[in-house]
Amino acid sequence: DVMTMDNFPYDLTERQVYEIGQQVAAALAYLEQKKLFHGDIAARNVLLHHNFTAKLCGFGLAYEAHTYGASSVTEMVPVKWQAPERLLKNPPSIKADIWSFGILLYEMITLGDPPYPEVRPSDILPYLQRRNIMKQPSSCQQAMYSIMKSCWQWNATDRPSPSDLIQSLQTAMKTSNDQRVLQVPELVVPELYADVTGVAMDSLVSDYTVL
């Protein structure tokens, strides 16, 4: 229930999740303005300063696509963060980033719970093709879950733009809780997390704070 950064404890509240989300959405808006995309939006690619300033990192896939073309991309993104069109081998786009942004919100509000915990990575595409999405976490209020669901629209054109996301996050944050520390049923076990998500275990070992 407590984040630790530079040996100092940090409690994470619902409002702070919105604040971090707005900063990441602002980064996506900047990329869209430059006709770019990220390609791997996830908590593992968000760095937090001690004052809760968020920095988006992990631009390897975007650089590769920009330099060599989308058809030449070889960098692998864990399937549970990918939009369905990416799983169907369509080119990366800012709208695919919006889908992944919804997964990022889920990661933050659950303090690192793996997405789709009941679905094997190999089964994720059929699961999504049946129009399934993740259920509302117990730690998530309806306003945030509504934003998540807007990100998880099957048709990419139905998803919000980064600027729409910022507006939705700002509106929802006005009534968010800034006093109660987020709590989840159990702590994340790295080995189980790697197995459930299909993420390589060695990629979880770093000096960064994991949300």
Of the residues 1, 6, 11, 40, which is catalytic? Answer: 40
Is residue 210 in a domain? no
Buried b (16+ CB within 10 A) or exposed e, 9-38: eeebebbbbbbbbbbbbbbbbebbeeebbb
Q: Domain range holding 192? A: 2-204
Copy the structure tokens of residue 178. Answer: 């800034």
- Cα separation, 113 vs 196, in Å, equals 10
Q: CA 66, 34, 17: angle at the middle one, nearest 5?
A: 100
The answer as to whether 120 is a domain residue is yes
Residue 138 lies in a domain: yes
Is there a domain that residue 211 lies in? no
Flag whether 16 is in a domain: yes
Number of independent structural domains in the chain: 1
- Asked, for residue 209, whether it belongs to a domain, the answer is no
Residue 9 — very low, low, confident or very high, per pLDDT cuts 50/70/90? very low
Judge contact between 162 and 98, C-beta under 8 A: yes
Highest mean pLDDT among 7-21, 57-71, 114-128 belongs to 114-128
User: Domain of 196: which CATH number?
Assistant: 1.10.510.10
Q: Which two tokens stand for residue 154?
A: 């099957």
What is the C-alpha R_g of the chain? 16
Question: CA 20, 176, 46: angle at the middle one, nearest 5?
Answer: 10
- Contact between 31 and 185 under an 8 Å Cβ cutoff? The reply is no
Q: Are 21 and 172 in contact (CB under 8 A)?
A: no
Tokens 């094997």 identify what position? 120
Q: Where are the beta strands (DSSP E) in the chain?
A: 2-5, 8-11, 46-48, 54-56
Q: What are phi and psi of 56, to 5 degrees?
A: -85, 125
Sequential DSSP letters for 163-191: HHHHHHHHHHHTT--SSSBP--SS---HH
Tens digits of per-residue pLDDT, 121-174? 999 999 999 999 999 999 999 999 999 999 999 999 999 999 999 999 999 999
| Residue 40: active-site member | yes
- Residues 92-132 have pLDDT tens digits of 889 999 999 999 999 999 988 999 999 999 999 999 999 99
Q: Where are the beta strands (DSSP E) in 41-145?
A: 46-48, 54-56
Considering the domain boundaries, does residue 175 fall inside one? yes
Instruction: Check whether 70 has a pLDDT greater than 90.
Output: no
